[in-house]
């Protein structure tokens, strides 16, 4: 088999050499480019992330028991009559403040007044007979048995008058204590039976708040213990009060104990029956680590915060990095939370901007911005 020989002219050889050198330069540049990019990437450092931070210190932490309850009047009744009759007068306006002893409602007592006149006349006659026979008895003109019978008649007449007077008093309804009167449930001229509720009277200053507390907190409860009562009026209103009664038994079904607190109500803005939240203040805990809840990153692996540390060896040129620190979260209140494990007083933690961080991220602390 004969080999084919190609004779290249000098210009062709020169062209092939130039082409080879060109491709060698191209492939060499591509290789150098990859090496250069690899070196640059290995030395690349992302710019520092801007965060806000706070140096934490120990402080006192107020703990409390949360519960809910209802306001009740210290004294509160539905005024009703012991006797039946027709309403003849109403001496109040709904919502009015009345004093103890003020007459509220009157029922018709014309029959009782007539009976009283008859009874008083009988009493007068019995008194005359008694006086006359008392004189005769002293002179032994009348027997002792006759005098005893006349004395009994006098006592019966006195009792009859007192009975009628009591019936008349039952027809006049007065305020048993000072308080705020409600809306009348009867009208003038209306017949009411005995026991019919006619109007509500509530003593509104002070008020009681009754609420339940789980039995495990019983050892921490005591009389005059301070409480905060939160009501949904004027946005939210907080009133300070004290515990004035703790029930003598625990409910067997709920295992709660009934507690009663007393709160002031000088402006009379609160009403019996209103719903309220209550915080029973417990003994404050000292030397607690308290941080904002926004500083905590929650995950299935555990709760953590970022601690800011200065890794620079030069005092005048700080080099800040954020490091993840797992913590044990304690009590929560509002925007704050206690940390029972993982942080120490003096640590600087990231309070916002931590979503863009990873362990060891370079950071710039700027507390003048809102992240």
Write out the DSSP string of 21-45.
Answer: HHHHHHHHHHHHHHHHHHHHHHT--
* Range with the poorest average pLDDT among 137-146, 159-168, 276-285: 137-146
pLDDT tens per residue, range 300-314 = 888 899 999 887 776
What pLDDT does residue 58 have?
87
| The pLDDT value given to residue 320 | 86
- Whole-number percent of the chain with pLDDT over 90: 25
Q: Is the pLDDT of residue 132 over 80?
A: no
Same fold, 49-61+285-365 and 64-108+171-282: no
Q: Which fold has domain 49-61+285-365?
A: 2.40.420
Do residues 63 and 150 make contact, with C-beta atoms less than 8 angstroms apart?
Answer: no
Q: Which two tokens stand for residue 48?
A: 């520092």
Residue 184: the pLDDT is 92
Q: Which pairing describes strands 179-181 and 197-202: parallel, antiparallel, or unpaired?
A: antiparallel
Q: How far apart are CA 346 and CA 291, in angstroms?
A: 12
pLDDT in tens, 50-71: 888 889 888 888 888 899 999 9
Tracing tokens 């206690």 back to the chain, one arrives at 338
What span, in angstroms and rounded, lies between the C-alpha atoms of 123 and 153? 9
Neighbours of 286 (CB within 10 A): 9
In tens, the pLDDT along 264-280 reads: 988 888 888 889 999 99
Q: For 198-220, what is the mean pLDDT?
A: 91
- Which has more pLDDT, 132 or 288? 288
**Candidate from 9-23, 184-198, 324-338 with smallest mean pLDDT:** 9-23
Residue 138: band (very low, low, confident or very high) from pLDDT cuts 50, 70, 90: low
What CA–CA distance (Å, rounded) separates 143 from 148? 9
Give the chain's end-to-end CA distance (angstroms, integer): 83
Calculate Rg over the CA atoms of the chain.
Answer: 47
351, with CB counted inside 10 A (0-12, 13-18, 19+), is buried
Chain segment 212-256, per-residue pLDDT in tens? 999 999 999 999 999 999 988 877 888 899 999 999 999 999 999
Q: Which backbone phi and psi does 23 adopt, to 5 degrees?
A: -65, -35
Three-state DSSP state, 257: strand
| Domain range annotation of the chain | 1-44, 49-61+285-365, 64-108+171-282
Give the domain 64-108+171-282 fold. Answer: OB fold (Dihydrolipoamide Acetyltransferase, E2P) (2.40.50)
pLDDT of residue 234: 75
Q: Which residues contact 103 (CB under 8 A, 6 or more apart)?
A: 91, 172, 173, 174
Model pLDDT for residues 149-170, shown as the tens digit of each residue: 777 877 888 888 888 888 888 8
């Amino acid at each position: 088999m004969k080999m084919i020989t190609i004779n290249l002219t000098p210009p062709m050889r020169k062209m092939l050499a130039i082409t080879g050198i060109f491709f060698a330069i191209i492939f060499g540049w591509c290789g150098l480019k990859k090496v250069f990019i690899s070196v640059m990437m290995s030395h690349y450092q992302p710019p520092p992330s801007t965060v806000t931070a706070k140096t934490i210190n120990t402080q006192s932490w107020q703990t409390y028991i949360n519960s809910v309850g209802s306001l009740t009047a210290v004294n509160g009744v539905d005024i009703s009559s012991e006797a039946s009759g027709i309403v003849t007068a109403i001496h109040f306006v709904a919502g009015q403040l009345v004093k103890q002893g003020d007459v509220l409602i009157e029922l018709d007592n014309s029959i009782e007044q007539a009976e009283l006149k008859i009874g008083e006349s009988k009493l007068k006659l019995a008194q005359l007979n008694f006086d006359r026979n008392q004189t005769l008895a002293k002179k032994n003109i009348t027997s002792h048995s006759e005098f005893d019978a006349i004395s009994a008649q006098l006592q019966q007449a006195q009792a009859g008058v007192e009975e009628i007077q009591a019936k008349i008093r039952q027809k006049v309804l007065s305020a048993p204590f000072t308080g705020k009167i409600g809306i009348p449930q009867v009208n003038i001229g209306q017949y009411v039976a005995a026991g019919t509720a006619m109007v509500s009277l509530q003593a509104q200053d002070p008020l009681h708040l009754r609420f339940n507390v789980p039995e495990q907190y019983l050892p921490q409860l005591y009389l005059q213990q301070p409480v905060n009562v939160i009501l949904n009026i004027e946005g939210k209103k907080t009133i300070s009060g004290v515990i004035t009664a703790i029930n003598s038994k625990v409910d067997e079904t709920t295992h709660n104990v009934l507690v009663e607190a007393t709160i002031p109500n000088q402006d009379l803005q609160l009403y019996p029956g209103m719903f309220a939240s209550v915080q029973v203040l417990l003994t404050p805990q000292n030397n607690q680590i308290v941080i904002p809840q926004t500083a905590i990153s929650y995950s299935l692996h555990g709760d953590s915060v970022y601690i800011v540390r200065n890794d620079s060896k030069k005092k005048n040129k700080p080099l800040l990095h954020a490091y993840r620190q797992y913590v044990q979260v304690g009590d929560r209140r509002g925007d704050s939370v206690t940390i029972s494990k993982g942080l120490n007083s003096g640590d600087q933690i990231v309070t916002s901007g931590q979503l863009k961080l990873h362990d060891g991220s370079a950071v710039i602390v700027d507390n003048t911005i809102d992240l």
